[in-house]
Amino acid sequence: MRLAAGLRRSGMSRVFLIDTDTASDDAVALLMALGSEDVHVAGITTVAGNVSLEQGTRNALYTVEFCGADVPVYPGAAKPLTRAHQDATWFHGEDGLGDHGFRPQHRIAKSKHAVDAIIETIHANPGLTLVTLGPLTNIALVLQREPGIVDKIGRTVVMGGNPCCEGNVTPAAEFNIWVDPEAAHIVLHSGLRIELIGWQLCRGEAVVGPAEIERVLGWNTPLARFTIESNSRARQALKIQTGEDGICLPDPVAMAVALDPSIGTTWSDHYVDVETRSELTRGMTVVDRLNVASDERNRETWSSLLDRPPNARVCWEIDVPRWKELLFSFLR
């Protein structure tokens, strides 16, 4: 049976479709979307990434159940397009949610594959916002099956990449892109209207620091406790990884921009590609920040890159106080 058309609920003006490899920061991003009064989450699709497909699906189901939402969850790709799956349980915990025993009690996943669900949901809700929080395997499979579907998607907000900065899984790459660089390459060259929200945006002042963690816990709400507890292992891992003390939330930052684009304060359009062949720089998001690919003066030197127009809108800075206030508004 096809998904019903017209999934918007009364009073809601926006439809989101979320693809996720649900671990600790993904879960917080999901609760933000599920708690937004003017957004209807038409579906959640899962992909192997931070954790296995099965665990990520369980985590998505738990989050939906915990939020009291009625949103279908569809499992998708259990591995990247051409590579073995490598997870990030060292960062998020073996279950992806800090190993606190969070498990769904009642909700079960749909039998429909995520790729089918994505295609049907887009056709039923033309102009929806697609938010991707994990590796882009499911989206690449959709585009391979139905390339013309890009014309029916409004915004595509991608949490991924590390434009012009260090990565979080290798010196060159951010995890979501590194896991399945071939899928990311397909998505970037698909014609989707991509808004690229890189890992660097959740660092520094954007990290939820110790005093803010205590403030959140002081509200003593279920959502506040879940947010801090599910990210407890990630807090320890961040300290090891970058030396920062706090909770780094790349997926919620991306969701904040999806919910309120003005939180992104500095943007520019560029040609972006992904390295797929080098093991040294596998998954690197190569951003043509100086637009050399379209500069006639570089024809001889960069002939292989010429005539490649911008394919992504890259966010370089966010309004950190507004991002945190939006996050906290869902937790009080």
pLDDT of residue 299: 53
Structural contact between residues 315 and 198, judged by C-beta atoms closer than 8 angstroms: yes
Mean pLDDT by runs of 10 across the 332 residues of the chain is 33 87 98 97 98 98 97 98 98 97 94 98 98 99 98 98 94 98 98 97 97 98 98 97 96 98 97 95 94 61 64 98 98 96
Question: Which residue in the block uniquely carries the two structure tokens 């690449």?
Answer: 140
8 A C-beta contact, residue 17 and residue 42: yes
Helical pair 320-329 and 250-259, crossing angle rounded to 10 deg: 90
Other Cβ atoms within 10 Å of 289 Cβ, number: 14
| Non-local CB neighbours of 237 within 8 Å, separated by 6+ positions | 90, 91, 92
CA dihedral 120, 18, 107, 232 (to 10 degrees): 170
Burial class (CB in 10 A: 0-12, 13-18, 19+), 86: middle
Q: Name, in order, each residue with C-beta under 8 angstroms of 191's C-beta and a sequence gap of 6 or more.
A: 147, 150, 311
* CATH numbers and ranges of domains, the chain: 14-329 (3.90.245.10)
User: Could you tell me if 46 and 73 are in contact, meaning their C-beta atoms sit under 8 angstroms apart?
Assistant: yes
Q: Can you give the pLDDT at residue 308? A: 82
pLDDT at 1: 25
Query: Whose CA is closest to 69, among 102, 101, 99, 44?
Result: 44
pLDDT at 292: 75
| pTM, entire model | 0.93
Q: Which amino acid is at 246?
A: G
